[in-house]
Amino acid sequence: MFDIQNIRKDFPILQTKAHGKPLIYVDNAASTQKPQQVIDAVSDLYQNSYANIHRGVHYLSQKSTALYESARETVQKFIHAGSVKEIIFVRGATEAVNLVANSYLAPILGAGDEILISEMEHHSNIIPWQMLAERKKAQLKIIPLLENGELDLTLLPKLLTERVKLVAVTHMSNSLGTINNVSSIIEQAHARNIPVLIDGAQSIAHFPIDVQALDCDFFVFSGHKIYAPSGIGALYAREEHLKSMRPYQGGGDMILNVSFEKTEFNEIPYKFEAGTPNIEGAIGLASALNYISAVGLSVIVQYEQELLAYATEKFETVAGLRLIGTAPNKGSVISFVLEGVHPHDIGTIMDMEGIAVRTGHHCTQPIMDHYNIPATTRVSLCFYNTKAEIDEITSAIHKVKELMG
């Protein structure tokens, strides 16, 4: 069912040597590597089909327009949205959150209103809301973290006041690995007529997404976290919301008619895609989603959960190592601190062993504050990693301990 050696052959960069050692790439929560299929799709576009989209009657423009619009359909199917009109191509999760903040929430948010987020959000799902709250004299409210890295959802009924105009939470934490019970959050928010945005930046690559089953109002993700190029991502938003939202960026392609007196906006989704979009990114994204569908997300989930269990067991045997984030329902992210050693030193020593881990606050400073630590070392696994690599990482952690006394 799952031939890991064949999978690894699809990713040419995995053959790289780093400092003379075979590369072990476990920084997948930051960005994933690209399979040959995606590289070929982008290269093929440039070689055979590239032109600007939508505006041209000529052969190449029609060809690239068809590819771009078929990429939208691929995204729609991948997350099971009801219509292609509900898929907006954006730069990534960050831009999608900013779009919702400015186009959806800004016009309806008043002084004293509240936006509910959680303590485990990525800065991308904090700052756009914070900026908007400041502008509107509204307030940011926080669902707190429990010690094991789960959200304290017992407080949700109290936090969902009639002042809350939107809930924005992550599906899966990039620092802790926690998979949140977003269905329950959505259900409780909807019972009070409060819309919900789900940050799917991490979840998109690790388990199947069905936005209709989730019943979320908005879902955002970035292509580069799911083996696609960077600079492309998607916003899913319910058609009813998109129809009433005003675009927050103006420019070419998002209009039907322009005069100096008045502009008539294009229909959805185009009215939210001002300017020439990332055509090659969208086509690369579609290719990545097709690739993942062919491997099968259910097989990927199973394999990654095996890797997670294996790595957790190995790391737990290291004296002085403390796991940060031990929720029962986790994706394949393992953050840890090592007694007496700064994560930056761990990262540097690991790098000399050819191991790419990430050290720092992972754009989640409130999580670091919660645990009263400056940073963690994060091993984020995906389906091209192996148990043998986890053994190498465990040995490298022991080496760090020896070197750092």
Exposure b/e, 217-235, CB count within 10 A at least 16 = b: bbbbbbbbbbbbbbbbbbb
Q: d(Cα 382, Cα 370) in Å, to the nearest integer? A: 27
Based on the shown chain and the rule CB under 6 A, indicate whether residue 174 belongs to the binding site for ligand PLP: yes
Based on the shown chain and the rule CB under 6 A, indicate whether residue 222 belongs to the binding site for ligand PLP: yes
Point out which span in 62-70, 109-117, 119-127, 310-318 binds ligand PLP (CB under 6 A): 119-127
Closer CB to ligand PLP, 175 or 326, in the complex: 175
Based on the shown chain and the rule CB under 6 A, indicate whether residue 335 belongs to the binding site for ligand PLP: no
Nearest to 88 by CA among 327, 278, 338: 278
Based on the shown chain and the rule CB under 6 A, indicate whether residue 124 belongs to the binding site for ligand PLP: yes
Based on the shown chain and the rule CB under 6 A, indicate whether residue 368 belongs to the binding site for ligand PLP: no
Answer yes or no: are the C-beta atoms of 333 and 36 closer than 8 Å.
no
**Other C-beta atoms lying within 10 Å of the C-beta of residue 154:** 8
Exposure b/e, 20-42, CB count within 10 A at least 16 = b: eeebbbbbbbbbbbbbebbbebb
Least distance CB 182 / ligand PLP (angstroms):
12
Based on the shown chain and the rule CB under 6 A, indicate whether residue 122 belongs to the binding site for ligand PLP: yes
DSSP string, 144-168: PBPTTS-B-GGGHHHH--TTEEEEE
Based on the shown chain and the rule CB under 6 A, indicate whether residue 199 belongs to the binding site for ligand PLP: yes
Least distance CB 63 / ligand PLP (angstroms):
29
Write down the catalytic residue from 4, 363, 373, 399: 363
One of 64, 103, 202, 359 touching ligand PLP (CB under 6 A) = 202
**Other C-beta atoms lying within 10 Å of the C-beta of residue 241:** 16
Point out which span in 91-99, 190-198, 243-251, 387-395 binds ligand PLP (CB under 6 A): 91-99
Q: What angle do CA 53, 199, 79 make, to 5 degrees?
A: 55
Point out which span in 69-77, 199-207, 246-254, 263-271 binds ligand PLP (CB under 6 A): 199-207
One of 28, 170, 326, 386 touching ligand PLP (CB under 6 A) = 170
> Is 363 part of the annotated catalytic residue set?
yes
DSSP string, 194-254: --EEEE-TTGGGTS---HHHHT-SEEEEEGGGGTS-SS-EEEEE-HHHHHHPPPSS--TTS
Least distance CB 338 / ligand PLP (angstroms):
23
Answer yes or no: are the C-beta atoms of 307 and 387 closer than 8 Å.
yes
Based on the shown chain and the rule CB under 6 A, indicate whether residue 34 belongs to the binding site for ligand PLP: no
Point out which span in 87-95, 254-262, 316-324, 396-404 binds ligand PLP (CB under 6 A): 87-95
Closer CB to ligand PLP, 150 or 392, in the complex: 150
Six token digits for residue 131: 């900026």
Rg value, the chain, Cα: 22
One of 109, 201, 228, 396 touching ligand PLP (CB under 6 A) = 201
Based on the shown chain and the rule CB under 6 A, indicate whether residue 331 belongs to the binding site for ligand PLP: no
Closer CB to ligand PLP, 93 or 341, in the complex: 93
Is the preceding peptide bond at 269 cis, omega within 30 degrees of 0? yes
Closer CB to ligand PLP, 205 or 268, in the complex: 205
Based on the shown chain and the rule CB under 6 A, indicate whether residue 125 belongs to the binding site for ligand PLP: yes
Based on the shown chain and the rule CB under 6 A, indicate whether residue 178 belongs to the binding site for ligand PLP: no
Based on the shown chain and the rule CB under 6 A, indicate whether residue 394 belongs to the binding site for ligand PLP: no
If binding means CB under 6 A, how many residues of this protein chain bind ligand PLP?
Answer: 13
Least distance CB 124 / ligand PLP (angstroms):
4
Closer CB to ligand PLP, 288 or 397, in the complex: 288
Closer CB to ligand PLP, 166 or 341, in the complex: 166
Based on the shown chain and the rule CB under 6 A, indicate whether residue 98 belongs to the binding site for ligand PLP: no
Closer CB to ligand PLP, 324 or 400, in the complex: 324
Q: d(Cα 231, Cα 240) in Å, to the nearest integer? A: 27
Q: At what angle do helices 387-403 and 343-352 cross, to 10 degrees?
A: 120
Q: What angle do CA 15, 17, 18 make, to 5 degrees?
A: 135
Q: How far lies 136's CA from each of 15, 110, 111, 195, in Å?
A: 51, 6, 6, 19
Least distance CB 201 / ligand PLP (angstroms):
3
Six token digits for residue 384: 């091209």
Interface positions with ligand PLP (CB under 6 A): 92-94, 122, 124-125, 170, 174, 199, 201-202, 222, 363
- The set of catalytic residues is 363
